[in-house]
Chain A
Amino acid sequence: MTAGYSTMLDTLTRLRGIRGAMVVSIEDGLVVAESLMAGLKGSALAALSATLASRVSEMAGAAGFGVPRFLHLQSSEGALLVASANSELLLVAVAGRDVPLGLLRLEMLRMSERLT
């Protein structure tokens, strides 16, 4: 199972400008599988992504907008992207600046559908 995730994550991190990607458990914010460049702290990234996704779900639920399937947090030094295809796992990626995010988004949405 984890080997399958690794292949998926390696495909993502081969895209230009991607600093890392991981599969995260929503419930406890722990790393399920990761492929990260040096300097990215996997456990922190997993915890922060899960918390952010949880907050966003809470907000979307309060507004009656349904379940979020993709988040994109854009910042001055890069972007945090989170795709959710089921209630248990998140696919997370960190991109540097000047990354073609449209392509990355499509890849992540496609891959997240295979998360089980």
Chain B
Amino acid sequence: MTEDIRALSAQYAADPSSLVFLRLGEALRQRRQLDAALKIAVQGLTRYPHLPEAHDLYARILTDKHDYANAFDEWDTVLRLAPEHLGAHKGIGFLYYRAGEPEHALYHLRLAAQLDPDDAGLHAAVERVAGGEEIWEAPMPEGPPEHQEEARAVTVAAGDPFAGLEGAGERLLLVDHDGFRLGGALVSVEGRDVSESCSAVLAGTAREADRAVRMLELGEWGHLTIETAGVSLCLLRPTPDTTLLSTMDAGLPAGQLSFFAERAAKAARTWLERVR
């Protein structure tokens, strides 16, 4: 049942930091006021970037707006935060089914059915995707994560994508969509290897850049440069599913950083084409 939007809006206005944005966003979504729902969801995500329910709400709204690729990313984020999130498994299952990948769809829908065995509609959906009731006797199909791990293992075994480039081993870091390090390394100003700690946040930062340009209707982003007191950083996407971070000492010309980053991106693309 749709909740009273006016009452929820009043509650939200009275206390913008409360979790009532989840109910308000969902109520707006159900009323098909999708732009308003999106605004509320984004505001909620700003306050609660690690709250699975906030990402789930955002993903449902994106799905209603037919933005399936970004909805998938959001549900993927939910599952990294909460691997047994019912809504995310159902959502990703739906998206896989829609994309014509019934095996992956079944993997997530069956997990969802295990999490909520009383959901008759979900059981019917599983049987519809599988083509019959005998699906419940079959073992769980392999899920996409295993395939990803295999691909990652092959990629990581293929050596350094930046071998021979200036900054290799300390100033260039390549990660996949989930923040898994594919190649390169990053060393802090103090000489500490920070590759692993930086990788996960790097992918999240790139997703945030995706979201910003999408919602501000700025087209496709080319690069994100960041200045700190001692270091300049440049993020870009060598391919749609990878992110590259390049760093240089602060004070060097911006053009030099761009050139350095573009050259590394080219090396990364060549390397990825070879190993994939």
Between A and B, 30 residue pairs with Cβ closer than 8 Å are: A28-B16, A29-B47, A40-B216, A44-B42, A44-B215, A44-B216, A45-B216, A48-B212, A51-B212, A52-B205, A55-B204, A55-B205, A58-B205, A59-B198, A62-B194, A63-B188, A65-B231, A66-B228, A66-B229, A67-B228, A68-B228, A72-B226, A73-B212, A73-B213, A73-B221, A74-B223, A74-B224, A76-B219, A76-B221, A80-B216
A52 to B211, CA, bound (A): 9
What secondary structure prevails in chain A residues at the interface with B? mixed
From B197, B209, B215, B231, give the contact of A62 (CB < 8 A): B197
A58 to B190, CA, bound (A): 18
From B42, B43, B247, give the contact of A65 (CB < 8 A): B247
A68 to B233, CA, bound (A): 10
The answer to whether the Cβ of A60 comes within 8 Å of any Cβ in the partner chain is yes
How many A-B pairs fall under 8 Å by CB? Answer: 143
Q: A78-B219, A80-B216 are in contact. List 11 more A-B contacts (CB 8 A).
A: A50-B46, A51-B42, A58-B205, A67-B229, A71-B225, A71-B226, A73-B223, A74-B221, A76-B221, A77-B218, A79-B218
Question: Which residues of chain B are near A78, meaning CB under 8 Å?
Answer: 218-219
B180 to chain A, nearest CB (A): 15
Give 9 closest A-B pairs by Cβ, nearest first.
A76-B219, A64-B188, A77-B219, A29-B46, A75-B218, A59-B201, A70-B227, A75-B221, A66-B228
Question: Which residues of chain B are near A80, meaning CB under 8 Å?
Answer: 212-213, 216, 218
Complex contact B43–A29 (CB within 8 A): yes
Complex contact A64–B189 (CB within 8 A): yes
What secondary structure prevails in chain B residues at the interface with A? mixed
Question: Which residues of chain A are near B230, meaning CB under 8 Å?
Answer: 65-66
Answer whether A52 and B43 are a contact pair too, CB < 8 Å, given A69-B229, A74-B222, A77-B219. Answer: no
Task: Name the residue in B16, B220, B233, B247 with the highest tally of chain A Cβ atoms < 10 Å from its Cβ.
Answer: B233
